[in-house]
């Protein structure tokens, strides 16, 4: 189980990303528009830099929904390899068969 503080920090980042997504997209569009004057593009980049760092989507990290584990994460299932194995062994995941030979 991951520390509660890390799980809460990740949730806070997710909220910030959602909150600033529209503003960030608009500023990026202005900053990358070649037809706009250089000064206007530069101002857009400065405003973009003043936004909170945790509002950038690249700062998000996938975590297991059950344990909060940040490593060995399966995107399709949104759980870690350890929980995948445990749930499969208990027969709680349909279609998963324990292999033995």
Distance CA 20, CA 43 (A): 18
Tell me the pLDDT tens digit for each residue of 25-55.
Answer: 999 999 999 999 999 999 999 999 999 999 9
Q: Using the predicted structure, report yes or no on whether residue 100 has a pLDDT greater than 90.
A: no
pLDDT band at 82 (very low <50, low <70, confident <90, very high): very high
Distance CA 55, CA 14 (A): 8
pLDDT at position 1 is: 78
Q: Using the predicted structure, report yes or no on whether residue 96 has a pLDDT greater than 90.
A: no
Percentage of residues of the chain with pLDDT beyond 70:
99
Distance CA 65, CA 85 (A): 15
């Amino acid at each position: 189980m991951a520390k509660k503080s890390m799980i809460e920090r990740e949730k806070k980042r997710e909220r910030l990303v959602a909150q600033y997504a529209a503003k960030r997209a608009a500023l990026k569009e202005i900053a990358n528009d070649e037809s706009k004057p250089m000064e206007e593009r530069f101002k857009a980049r400065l405003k973009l830099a003043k936004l909170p760092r945790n509002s950038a989507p690249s700062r998000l990290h996938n975590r297991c929904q059950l344990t909060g584990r940040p490593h060995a994460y399966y995107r399709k299932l949104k759980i870690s390899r350890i929980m995948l194995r445990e749930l499969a062994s208990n027969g709680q995941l349909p279609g998963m068969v324990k292999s033995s030979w």
